[in-house]
Structure 1
Amino acid sequence: MKKKQIALAAALGCTLLLAGHALAAGAGSEPAELDADTVEYDMTTGVIQATDNVLMKQGDTHIAGQRAVYNTKTQQGTVTGGVIAVRGAMRMTCQEVIADGREHIRATGDVHGTENDKSFSSEQVDYFPQQNDYVLMEQGGVVSDQDGTFTAARMEGWLKDEHYVGTGSAHLVSPARNMEAGGDRMEYFGQDRGRVVAEGNAWAVQDNNTMHSNRITIYLAKDGQATVQ
């Protein structure tokens, strides 16, 4: 994907990956550290419970919240209460994060993620790192960067493939490209040349030119411009 193309794939990918990598604290090879006002550890069950001013650290990954429960045997864990997860330039906030081992991570409650100029928000985000980095925002979401904003009532994507799908009132706005498009369903392909396909009551506006069709394809040129067909 070229830098000047509509970078919605990067915006979604970089920020959502935080939900997976940040919550891997305790599962990696680097030493992990846990601080809290109260910590209980049951060596028989492998369950650690931490409450009040919880802070977990591992490398450049920090996770803070009011309560955390982690099972060292199953690698299942939950962090609740004003959760803040930071990894390098990436930052995510929500009310609760649940990790079912390394196969599924769910962030819920006013979820917001940022990485430099990229951001996303949703009420719930599910991340499946072992399923080709599949992400799902079942309740819809907003993805933005300096190049544009993508919204839909339901969003999903495969991060490794740079392939994303918005269903239900899908809407793309790119002031940098003087372009706006929408439809019942919108699919984004970031690899190779790059394109966006809007289907079902599809429409697109570029340079004051308006187009309506059941299916509209927007090709992203190498120079960062967009061609609507």
Structure 2
Amino acid sequence: MLSTGVFLFAIFIYGTLAYIVKRRIYNSLKIERCQSFDWEPGHEWALILSPDFWWAIRFKSRIKSLCAEYSKEKLKTFVTLSNTYNFWFSLAFGVVTLIFASHFPTSYTAHLLLSLAVIRFVSRSLEITYAFVTDAFQDSESTTGLTSKERIILAMKSYVEIYLYSAPAYLIFTKCNDAWAAISLSMNVGTLTNVGQAFGMVGMGFEINMVFIQIFTTLSLVILSLASYLSRSDRIK
């Protein structure tokens, strides 16, 4: 089980890291403001549940306030860079967490990494689900200018990323932080081939329901988003 104190500390760390990363991506766009920016209220709940989503919408709203002639171009770049960063970060963080936590399961660092893994699991899942479901059902013109092909590429990278960030989070369900068992669970849940494997773990009656987050995220991405992208004309973005 995760320590409450370590988990609360991890929430602070993750929220700070999420801001720093989104800020660096935003700064890399080298944006010159055309007008003053007014803070856009809303989605305050995400500050705790999904720092990734919270800071994404904050910086997107700043970009949307730019001059119309290049706000869409900058927003497209921001979304693409964020998607690429999240993919590689999930891969690197997942590998480090799986290796370290499995070799030093009782260390403070292992508990901190596991806490961060669980937080990222929830945070990124909410961000992915909201982003792709909203995009799939929007009736107005897209603010990013992404083509159907570009949307599919982003969706597929996010689909693979779900497996990458789910595996380290599932270490808390395994005996002695078994990395291979966590990877296997992520693959089984993500492909919907053997979800029942999760419920065979003793002593995890409530916590194991966390796997449904991965299931719902995967379904929203594959069924709703990809189906919408394939049927959408490039001129209706």
TM-score category, normalised to shorter length: under 0.3
Q: TM-score, normalised by structure 2?
A: 0.25
Identify, as 1 or 2, the structure richer in helix: 2
Identify, as 1 or 2, the structure richer in strand: 1
Structure with greater contact order relative to length (CA < 8 Å, sep ≥ 6)? 2
Q: TM-score, normalised by structure 1?
A: 0.26
